[in-house]
Structure 1
Amino acid sequence: MSEHIRVSVADGVCTVAMHRPEKKNALTRDMYDGLATAIERSAADPEIRCLLLTGTEEVFCAGNDIADFRAPRPLDDPDTPTPSRRFYFGLANFEKPIVAAVPGLAIGIGCTMLLHADIVYAAPEARFRLPFVDLGLVPELGASMLVPWLVGRHRAAELLLLGDFFDAAAAERMGFVNRILDRAELLPNATATAKALARKPQEALRITKRLLRPEMPPLLARMEEERELIAERLAAPETQAIMANMLKPKR
């Protein structure tokens, strides 16, 4: 398990916290592996009835770590899913309830993973962004399907094409989050909600969650398409130049 992914289990709830505050919880390959492992274990363990995702005290997740994203690594075994793929599809296929507590920044993957949560609470200070186009990339985790499904096509175009920040109040209005809570109350309330879900009749809960979600085969197909396009875009000169510029030392 990654040192930057902290996992605890109590009262039927698996709490998974991204903990790399010095980098605003930006995800590395190792962190994806830790997240994927926690999700897989939670899915398989009948004693775990709800998943709670959170970050550190002031940040949820600022997206992918760009340096780690670009770092050369050995070729992946084509028969073994990468850590990010395990996380993406483990999250999308997770049948138990998912609660998220967002204390601060939620950018890129930090925002798109919330689309797969069932109940999301955010602090007033939370800020959200879908910056894929500005990075020379395309959306991920099914966001190109889920964001229009959530907010409508025109607003989705605004969020995904312009890629501007939006605050917690806007996120609540659009349905990205259920409630805004003071930061001190955020995790206790999210934990209480997760425990309440863990006490519910589990089969009825799973069926109801399935009925609430979009049709899964088209969503999973779109996620695969996005991943293939991201791989192409990462090799594109446009994207390489953007990321190289981001990694230049700041004067």
Structure 2
Amino acid sequence: MTTDILVERADAVLTISFNRPGRKNAITAAMYQTMADTLVEAQGDASVRAILIRGSAGIFSAGNDLEDFMKTPQVGGNPPVIQFLRAISAAEKPLVAAVAGPAVGVGTTLLLHCDLVYAADTASFSLPFTQLGLCPEAASSLLLPRVAGYQAAAEKLLLGEAFDAAEALRMGLVNRVLPAGEVDAFAASQAAKLAALPASSLRVTKSLMKRASQQEVQTQMTEEFVHFGKMLLAPEAREAFKAFFEKRKPDFRQFD
């Protein structure tokens, strides 16, 4: 358990909050482990009827903490990031997200596994995997084209450039855009509405909507992880990470 993730209960709603604003809520292995364990425990807790995921201090998440990411083995076995992604993708209970400020990398891809996503008008999203010499994760290479259409998904995943809340709404990535001061309360109220409904009805309805694609999601996630692990050790990623820490633009011209 880490204090960089806050877990709170209010009636039947479990809230998971990123709590590392000094590092823009960049996610460490310990944070992934806490979230994975929390989601698994919530799955077996009948008193939890809906789950809300939110950021803090106007920041959702800057994605992976690259320094921690390089120190912690991410290939082979069952690392915390994979435990988290499998847990969120397999969650049977309704997942609601409130996004204010930046949502980078996995901060955006995890939203594809949430049932309701509400964004502040200050929110921004980006999927900078190719800019880091990597490939998509969290089955985003499968789910984003389905949500947004191939062309829109290709622009976001191939170029990795940031886009705003209005574009996220047009793409279907978020349900609604609200003023920054209202998004957390609105998302919480939506989660409370879900929690007041029959748990069995929600569970079956979500299962029916997701069942046809669930195996595809797990297969795609596994394939992405294989490629991601290889690319993480490749020269392109080493150059990208080195440039990041040196605060310069990477030079990929030396690579084929």
Pairwise TM-score range, normalised by the shorter structure = over 0.9
Does 2:171 correspond to 1:174? yes
Structure 1 residue 11, shift from structure 2 partner: 1.5
- For 1:243 and 1:211, locate their aligned partners in 2 and report how far apart those are by CA, in whole Å: 41
Aligned position for 1:239 = 237
Structure 1 residue 212, shift from structure 2 partner: 2.2
Aligned length: 247
Q: Runs of 4+ in structure 1 displaced over 4 angstroms?
A: 72-76
Unaligned runs of 5+ in 2: 249-256
Aligned position for 2:224 = 226
Aligned position for 1:53 = 53
- For 1:73 and 1:125, locate their aligned partners in 2 and report how far apart those are by CA, in whole Å: 34
Go from structure 1 to structure 2 and tell me whether the alpha carbon gap of 1:139 and 1:101 turns closer, same or farther (over 3 Å shift). Answer: same
**Aligned runs of 1:73-84 on 2, under 5 Å?**
78=77, 81-84=78-81
Residues 177-206 of structure 1, C-alpha deviation per residue, up to 9 Å, x if partnerless?
111111221111111110110111111111
Aligned position for 2:254 = none
- For 1:154 and 1:189, locate their aligned partners in 2 and report how far apart those are by CA, in whole Å: 31
Is residue 29–residue 72 contact of structure 2 (8 Å, CA) maintained in 1? no
Q: What's the % identity of the aligned pairs?
A: 40
Is residue 19–residue 56 contact of structure 2 (8 Å, CA) maintained in 1? yes
- For 1:218 and 1:188, locate their aligned partners in 2 and report how far apart those are by CA, in whole Å: 34
- For 1:29 and 1:39, locate their aligned partners in 2 and report how far apart those are by CA, in whole Å: 15
Which one-letter code corresponds to 2:160 in the other structure? G
**Aligned runs of 1:27-176 on 2, under 5 Å?**
27-71=27-71, 78=77, 81-176=78-173
Structure 1 residue 57, shift from structure 2 partner: 2.3
Go from structure 1 to structure 2 and tell me whether the alpha carbon gap of 1:185 and 1:69 turns closer, same or farther (over 3 Å shift). Answer: same
Structure 1 residue 211, shift from structure 2 partner: 2.2
- For 2:44 and 2:229, locate their aligned partners in 1 and report how far apart those are by CA, in whole Å: 30
Go from structure 1 to structure 2 and tell me whether the alpha carbon gap of 1:225 and 1:74 turns closer, same or farther (over 3 Å shift). Answer: closer
Which one-letter code corresponds to 1:181 in the other structure? L
Go from structure 1 to structure 2 and tell me whether the alpha carbon gap of 1:74 and 1:204 turns closer, same or farther (over 3 Å shift). Answer: closer
Unaligned runs of 5+ in 1: none
Is residue 152–residue 171 contact of structure 2 (8 Å, CA) maintained in 1? no
Structure 1 residue 89, shift from structure 2 partner: 0.2
Go from structure 1 to structure 2 and tell me whether the alpha carbon gap of 1:74 and 1:7 turns closer, same or farther (over 3 Å shift). Answer: closer
2:198 paired residue among 184, 201, 214: 201
- For 2:74 and 2:30, locate their aligned partners in 1 and report how far apart those are by CA, in whole Å: 14
Which one-letter code corresponds to 2:189 in the other structure? A
Go from structure 1 to structure 2 and tell me whether the alpha carbon gap of 1:74 and 1:190 turns closer, same or farther (over 3 Å shift). Answer: closer
Which one-letter code corresponds to 2:234 in the other structure? A
Go from structure 1 to structure 2 and tell me whether the alpha carbon gap of 1:185 and 1:75 turns closer, same or farther (over 3 Å shift). Answer: closer
Residues 120-168 of structure 1, C-alpha deviation per residue, up to 9 Å, x if partnerless?
1111000000110111000000000000010111111111001111100
Matched residue SS, 1:60: coil
Is residue 145–residue 152 contact of structure 2 (8 Å, CA) maintained in 1? yes
TM-score norm. by structure 1 comes to 0.95
Which one-letter code corresponds to 1:231 in the other structure? G
In angstroms, what is the RMSD of aligned CA positions?
A: 1.5
Aligned position for 2:7 = 7
